[in-house]
Structure 1
Amino acid sequence: MSKINCNNCNLVFSSELEYYAHHITAHKCISTSIKKILILGGGFGGITTLQNIEKKFANDPVEITIISNDNFFLFTPMLPQVVSGLIHASNISTPIRYFCKKAKFLQANVESIDLDQQLVTIQRSFDNKLHTLEYDYLVLSLGGKSNYFKNENLKKHSFSMKSIEDAIAVKNHIILMLEHAAQTGNYELQKNLLTFVVVGGGFAGVETISEINHFVRQSISKFYKSINPKNVNVILISSKDRILPEINEELANTALRFLEKEGITVLKNSRATDAGEEFVLLNNGEKISCATLIWTGGITMKKVISELKCEHGDNGRVKVDETLKIKNRDNVFALGDCAWIPDISTNSIYPSTAQHAIREGKIIAENLKISFDSKNQLKKFSFNSMGIMAIIGNRMGIATISGHDISGIMAWSIWRFYYLSKIPTFGKKIKVFVDWSIDFLLPRDVTLIGTIKKKEIHGIHITDKIPSIKEQLSMKF
Structure 2
Amino acid sequence: KILILGGGFGGMYCAKKLECLMAKRKNIDAEIILVSRQNFFVFTPMLPQVVSGMIESNHVVVPLRQVLKNTKFYEAEVASIDVKKRKVNLWVENNNNNYNDDGHGENGSPLSDLTLDYDHLVISLGSDTNFPKSSDFAHVVFTLKNLKDALLLRNHIIDMLERADIESDLDKRRQMLNFVIVGGGLSGVETAAELNAFFHKVVKYYPNLKAKFSELPPHVTIIQSRDRILPELNSKLATDTLQKMNQDGISIILNTKVIDVGKGFVRTVTKEGEHATIPANTVIWTVGISPNPLTASIACEKMTSGRPVVDSFLHVKGCENVWAVGDSAYIMDEISGEPFPATAQHALREAEVAAENIVNSLEKNNGLRKFKYGRDAQMALIGSKSAIANIAGINLSGFLIWCIWRAVYLKKLPMFKKRLRVALDWIIDIFFDPDLTHLRGLKEDRKFENHTKHIESR
Q: TM-score, normalised by structure 1?
A: 0.84
Q: Is the 8 A contact 1:300 1:315 kept in 2?
A: yes
The answer on 1:225 being equivalent to 2:207 is yes
Distance 1:170 1:46 in 2: 26
TM-fit CA distance, 1:423: 1.1
126-135 vs 396-405, greater mean Cα deviation: 126-135
> What's 2:45 paired with?
77
Q: Is the 8 A contact 1:356 1:385 kept in 2?
A: no
TM-fit CA distance, 1:216: 1.9
Change (3 A) 1:424 1:289: same
**What code does the residue aligned with 1:47 have?**
M
- Largest Rg, 1 or 2: 1
> What's 2:89 paired with?
121
> What's 1:28 paired with?
none
Secondary structure at 1:204 match in 2: helix
Distance 2:373 2:354 in 1: 14
TM-fit CA distance, 1:359: 2.4
TM-fit CA distance, 1:376: 6.9
* Equivalence map 1:46-61=2 (5 Å): 46-58=11-23, 59=26, 60-61=28-29
> What's 2:267 paired with?
281
Distance 2:232 2:64 in 1: 30
1:186 to 156, 166, 169: 169
Secondary structure at 1:319 match in 2: coil
TM-fit CA distance, 1:82: 0.6
Q: Is the 8 A contact 2:152 2:444 kept in 1?
A: no
Distance 1:281 1:83 in 2: 25
Distance 1:344 1:251 in 2: 23
Change (3 A) 1:360 1:217: same
Change (3 A) 1:235 1:455: closer
Change (3 A) 1:305 1:279: same
RMSD: 2.0
TM-fit CA distance, 1:457: 9.2
Q: Is the 8 A contact 1:314 1:340 kept in 2?
A: no
Distance 1:428 1:50 in 2: 19
Q: TM-score, normalised by structure 2?
A: 0.87
Cα shift readout 1:90-147 (whole Å, capped 9, x = no counterpart): 1111011112222111112212111111111122244443322111110111111111
Distance 1:253 1:213 in 2: 19
2:76 to 72, 95, 108: 108
TM-fit CA distance, 1:456: 9.3
Change (3 A) 1:457 1:305: closer
Distance 1:282 1:67 in 2: 41
Q: Is the 8 A contact 2:54 2:426 kept in 1?
A: yes
* Equivalence map 1:186-205=2 (5 Å): 186-205=169-188
Change (3 A) 1:252 1:129: same
TM-fit CA distance, 1:204: 0.5
Cα shift readout 1:316-373 (whole Å, capped 9, x = no counterpart): 2211112211123231111111111234466543332333222222222222222222
**What code does the residue aligned with 1:225 have?**
P
Q: Is the 8 A contact 1:151 1:274 kept in 2?
A: no
* Equivalence map 1:237-256=2 (5 Å): 237-256=223-242
Change (3 A) 1:396 1:225: same
TM-fit CA distance, 1:452: 5.0
> What's 2:156 paired with?
173
Distance 2:427 2:230 in 1: 29
Distance 1:452 1:183 in 2: 21
The answer on 1:421 being equivalent to 2:411 is yes
* Equivalence map 1:301-316=2 (5 Å): 301-313=291-303, 315-316=305-306
Distance 1:338 1:326 in 2: 10
Q: Is the 8 A contact 2:131 2:137 kept in 1?
A: yes
Distance 2:379 2:73 in 1: 33
Distance 2:338 2:242 in 1: 27
Q: Is the 8 A contact 1:112 1:122 kept in 2?
A: yes
> What's 1:387 paired with?
377
Q: Is the 8 A contact 2:152 2:443 kept in 1?
A: no
> What's 1:431 paired with?
421
Change (3 A) 1:147 1:454: closer
Q: Is the 8 A contact 1:279 1:289 kept in 2?
A: yes
The answer on 1:369 being equivalent to 2:369 is no
TM-fit CA distance, 1:280: 1.0
The answer on 1:272 being equivalent to 2:272 is no
Distance 2:189 2:430 in 1: 22
> What's 1:12 paired with?
none
The answer on 1:136 being equivalent to 2:119 is yes
Q: Is the 8 A contact 1:399 1:407 kept in 2?
A: yes
